[in-house]
Structure 1
Amino acid sequence: MPSFAKKTDSKSEIEQVRMADTFESGSAGEVLESLKQEARGRAKAILQNELPEFIRHISDLLKQAEDDEASPLWKGHLESGAFKEKNVHLTAPPRVAQDGQDHFSSNGIQQQQEGSDACTCASNCNKSPGLKESSIPLGRCWQHSPPSNAVCNRLMDLLQGEGQKGLALALVLQRWLRLEVPTIEDAFVLTAGGNFGVGVQSQAMAHIKQFWSTTNNIRRYGEDNYYPSRAKLETTWCEYPNIENFAAAIATLDRNFAAGARIELETLISQSLYMLNVLQNNWAKVHDPKNKGDNEKANVLY
């Protein structure tokens, strides 16, 4: 009969890999501790100085813009310039052929090849700041375009710059607080025992994530919506240049973007202050969820 007995390895037993000692040696612990201390130092500097200064800076931008016409946040821009429908026009650059001759016939109308849908606007469109009623193109007008709104462009630069600053602060605070979370076993004991230090940390992290989301939205504000929407209106207007409502649509879009930018910055101030207030009022539980400090204050969520 065949034998079912376990065969023995006559040479040597296979060495078993032990996982219990994975973190007893190696550089994992050293890297974690080093980055944890670095994150603590950065977080302390942010919460003590950089975040309050950032909030004050955004608030000052909005206050100064009330009377500063040079600021892209000045409300008066909405009542003048490219924000007014009457100032939004299709414009065309001078077009000169390779032989140095212009593309206009003796009667002032741009020459058009048979079967072509090229622009047939009058020659004075190259000299005037915008198309007049007498020079509205009769066909597709791909050589024309409405100029961009210079104030909105400056405003976009401002939003992206401030959004990037806030986003950098939020990312550092997220890393720091994640490294402060205690072990899962301790967290379970703390929560089950009525000491909700870990719960306070979770709520603090939620506020930091909201701050991150707000700053990221400001950084991308307009990039995902304003510019694509305006470009679509401009392209369609060039295709159908005799439709007057495109000027009003573009002016309205510009005003909505400028007004919305102020709202986004106001929201950033509110969210930043709320986060800072929660962290300060519950600091004992945020940085010490195991409650080694003041027991009476640490058990209260403000």
Structure 2
Amino acid sequence: MPKFGSTLPKMDEVFMAHPRPEVLKDLVASRRLRAIDILQNLIPAKITTVQAIIDQEEDPSSPFYKGQVFEVAYTDPKILQPSELIASDAHPKGEGELGSEKLILPQDITKPGPNDGEGVRMGPHWFEVVRVNPVQVKCMEIVTRELEDLHMLAQDLKVWLELEIPVVEDGNSFGADVQAHLISQLTDAYKKSNSMQNGVRAHHGDRLKLAMDWAKYPNFKDFAGAIATSDRFDHFLLRSYLRSILTLYGGLLTKFERNWGKVINPKGSHETGGMY
């Protein structure tokens, strides 16, 4: 650390001698263009898209069909054993195929051993396979993409709005308060997006825990029902998330539109120069 003695650097002229004034100006310009595109085009398009996905709940061909939870993928999870595994010399490294799915088997259970007469064993139990729920995975892909888009659009609007906050001064601050409220709403939107994404991610983790216990206690028949119930709840959860996404988009667009005058002219000066 340099030693200045009793003389300290002065700060009052920091922004009077701004070395790169164009940086902030260019950032505001680019963020305004992005905000215009989001508010005029992207959010309205997202509202239409999400509403169309929700409408698919009445379409039996859609993964979001509300009757999917009564189909085999949700009602009849199975634990599969090595006797159902098609292995051949084409998979020398312990690879095998189950239907059209490629599986990797540990080396020690693919080698000849004293228990070959009983079947291939790994430790105290068989090598179990529980298939993923393909319908749920498809739903997760769609909802995750929508949640990621929501997060980024909300953050982009927040970046722009933070740059438009006027000089802080006493009185006449209602418009600035509106801006602060909208910034809070945007922050809340992408935080909710993150929370919902964690909910989506939990699907595989929940199934993994249930399947691990099922492998330990294969005769405990409640595990199939537990996985089926978990999958059914996750399908319901994703459909609920779509409604939350629609609510967030609709709420944000409504608040911006109804308060637009205060957003772009928070001081009510009706001036066209400067930042506004």
Separation (CA, whole Å) in 2 of partners of 1:217 and 1:111? 43
Task: Give the TM-score, by structure 1 length.
Answer: 0.73
Tell me the TM-score normalised to structure 2 length.
0.80
User: Structure 1, unaligned stretches of length 5 or more?
Assistant: 1-12, 120-140, 295-302
**Aligned counterpart for 1:215 among listed residues 182, 188, 193:** 193
1:43 aligns with 2:35: yes
* CA positional deviation for 1:243: 0.5
Structure ID, larger Rg: 1
Map residues 96-245 of structure 1 onto 2, 5 A cutoff.
Answer: 97-98=110-111, 104-105=116-117, 109-110=118-119, 117-119=123-125, 141=126, 143-185=127-169, 188-191=170-173, 196-223=174-201, 225-245=202-222
User: Match for residue 135 of structure 1?
Assistant: none
Name the CA shift for 1:20/1:245 in 2 (closer, same or farther; >3 Å): same
- SS of the residue aligned with 1:24? coil
Does 2:219 correspond to 1:272?
A: no
When structure 1 is superposed on structure 2, of 198-207 and 172-181 the one drifting more is 198-207
Q: Deviation above 6 Å: which 4+ runs of structure 1?
A: none
Change (3 A) 1:203 1:26: closer
Q: For residues 251 and 62 of structure 1, what CA distance do their matches in structure 2 show?
A: 23
Matches within 5 A, 1:20-99: 20-69=12-61, 71-84=62-75, 87-93=76-82, 94=85, 97-98=110-111
- Conserved? CA contact 1:161–1:219, under 8 Å: no
Per chain length, whose mean CA-contact separation is higher, i.e. which structure has more relative contact order (CA < 8 Å, sep 6+)?
A: 2
* Structure 1 residue 283, shift from structure 2 partner: 0.6
Q: Distance in 1 between matches of 2:243 and 2:219?
A: 40
Q: RMSD across aligned C-alpha pairs, in angstroms? A: 2.5
Amino acid at match of 2:79: L
Offset at 1:231?
A: 0.7
SS in 2 for 1:242: coil
- What amino acid is the match of 1:233? L
Distance 1:35 1:102, change over 3 A: farther
Tell me which amino acid in the other structure corresponds to 1:147. R
Structure 2 residue identity aligned to 1:63: D
Relative to structure 1, the CA distance from residue 238 to residue 179 in structure 2 (aligned partners, 3 Å threshold; closer, same or farther) is same
Over the matched positions of the two proteins, sequence identity in percent amounts to 27
Q: Deviations over 1:262-296 (max 9, x none)?
A: 001111111211111111011111121111239xx
2: CA distance, partners of 1:57 / 1:102: 59
Aligned length: 243
Letter aligned with residue 74 of structure 2? F
Residue 202 of structure 1 and its aligned partner are, at CA, apart by: 1.8
The structure carrying a bigger strand percent of its residues is 2
User: Shift of residue 72 of structure 1?
Assistant: 1.9
In structure 2, relative to structure 1, the CA distance for the partners of 1:14 and 1:210 (3 Å cut) is: closer
